[in-house]
Amino acid sequence: MKLLVLVIALASSVSAIADRVYVRDNLYVPLRGGQSSEHRILHRGLRSGTELERLETNEDSGYTRVRTEGGLEGWLQTQYLVEEPIAAMQLDSMKAQLDQLEAEHQQTLLRLRELRETNEGLNASQGNLNSEKAQLAAELEKVTALSSNVIAINEENKQLNDDRETLLDEIARLNKDNDEMSSDRAQDWFLRGAGTVLLGLLFGVWIGRRIYQRRNNSGWA
């Protein structure tokens, strides 16, 4: 039973926490081999801001067991340790963060400039595309007009061909009529000529008979 009570007491006085603590500002704290100033010094002066790993804390003795980054373990007075980095370290950290933010800001500005140049290039390309589109639209309008003209010309050619066929038919008919008229005219002139010759012959016969009768009558007298 006494052993159990002793274990509980030790558990309440010694915390086995493995977290980070820091040496206070403007101090050089010795790291000792035990929980008193009588113990051997393992490191004569841990500088302010030194980061340590806290292994356990004994509130009765006021000492905390820590481990350095190099793996050296020892005891320090708890009063020289703080939970947060010292101001100088915080300032350095803030400067580092500020430098990082400045670098990110410069990268952002560079990216923004690249995006602006890309946007200007896209705007120029868009302008060229708009010009090409307008030119293509004008050419399409010309082609459409030419197509309309071609259709109209084709229609006109078709009409002219129809008119030509009609004229050719009319000419053929007129030639036929002319041939028929020429044939009838020639026949008419032939008949007239024959009639004239016949009348001339009859008139000649009649005249001859008249002359013959006169001569006969004269001879008889």
Any idea where the domains of the chain sit in the sequence?
2-85
Asked whether residue 50 carries a pLDDT value surpassing 70, the answer given is yes
Q: What is the pLDDT of residue 219?
A: 57
Give the pTM.
0.33
pLDDT digits (tens, 9 = 90+) for 132-153: 888 888 888 888 887 777 777 7
Res 89: pLDDT: 56
74 CB neighbour count, 10 Å cutoff: 23
Kindly tell me if the per-residue pLDDT of 18 is higher than 70. Answer: no
Band the pLDDT of 220: cuts 50, 70, 90: very low
Give 177-199 pLDDT, tens digit per residue: 777 777 777 677 777 777 787 78
57: pLDDT strictly greater than 90: yes
pLDDT per residue as tens digits for the range 71-100? 999 998 998 888 877 665 556 667 788 788
Instruction: Give the pLDDT confidence of 28-43 residue by residue, as tens digits.
Output: 788 888 988 888 988 8
Looking at residue 64, its pLDDT comes to 95
Which has more pLDDT, 204 or 65?
65
Residue 29: other Cβ atoms inside 10 A: 20
Would you give the distance in Å from CA 194 to the centre of its chain? 100
Identify whether the C-beta of residue 67 lies closer than 8 Å to the C-beta of residue 81: no
By C-alpha distance, which of 50, 47, 51, 40 is closest to 75? 40
CATH architecture of 2-85: Roll (2.30)
Place of tokens 């309440």: 12
Rank 14-23, 113-122, 202-211 by mean pLDDT and report only the highest: 113-122
> What value does the mean pLDDT of the chain take?
78
Q: Is 80 exceeded by the pLDDT of residue 59?
A: yes
